[in-house]
Chain A
Amino acid sequence: GAVVSQHPSWVICKSGTSVKIECRSLDFQATTMFWYRQFPKQSLMLMATSNEGSKATYEQGVEKDKFLINHASLTLSTLTVTSAHPEDSSFYICSAGDTYSNQPQHFGDGTRLSIL
């Protein structure tokens, strides 16, 4: 079964709306989670590293005020796309690895965001 749950899987909303995406580790604790964005037929682009209890680390060119990340517990990170516009439409994916083991990271099923 899924070890990383991402919700929602698909969201369509009007321009100007803020959208929150959740990423949960189901049976392990993750001090670090990662948020990616993927455009059609392209590879994943790392947006930011979500750190439990502290500020996220954003990759160059990613607006931190646009993409708000909160990692308030060891099993949940959220990405909020604020005042979304059509150019924010994309596939967003999170990943997490068990802090206390050396097992590889697992990915959520992704969230397809469509802004009209």
Chain B
Amino acid sequence: GEDVEQSLFLSVREGDSSVINCTYTDSSSTYLYWYKQEPGAGLQLLTYIFSNMDMKQDQRLTVLLNKKDKHLSLRIADTQTGDSAIYFCAENGGAGNNRKLIWGLGTSLAVNP
């Protein structure tokens, strides 16, 4: 069945780059997402990428998609303490945005001063 996997924990120093990795199984996904969740808060859409793209950059965020390997990564440049949160990878398993999202378990990012 559909599955999304990501590492559970990542720790970096402030100012370094963070790379959070995700693998998925559904090759028909049209959207792949990264959401951020701070403690006690809801989910914030960080960025997303269409499946026909290889890379998307948005300020400090770079998303790389390797469709052949079904591998998605999120790079945060110059990581700050405010970036400490849980990052969820998700894919929508097909065309259209009215499909239920398939979620990874989330990667907890800890940024040390």
Question: What does DSSP make chain B's interface, helix, strand, loop or mixed?
Answer: loop
Tell me, in angstroms, the Cα distance from A93 to B41 when the chains sit together.
10
Interface string of B78-103 (1 = CB under 8 A from A): 00000000001000100011101101
Total chain B interface residues with beta-carbon distance under 8 A: 21
- Quick check: B97 and A97 within 8 Å, CB to CB? yes
Across the interface, which residues of B come within 8 angstroms of A44, CB to CB?
Answer: 43, 88, 103
- Quick check: A43 and B104 within 8 Å, CB to CB? yes
Question: What does DSSP make chain A's interface, helix, strand, loop or mixed?
Answer: loop
Residues of B within 8 A of A (CB): 31, 33, 35, 40-45, 48, 88, 92, 96-98, 100-101, 103-106
Residues of A within 8 A of B (CB): 6, 30-32, 34, 42-44, 46, 49, 93, 95, 97-99, 101-110, 112
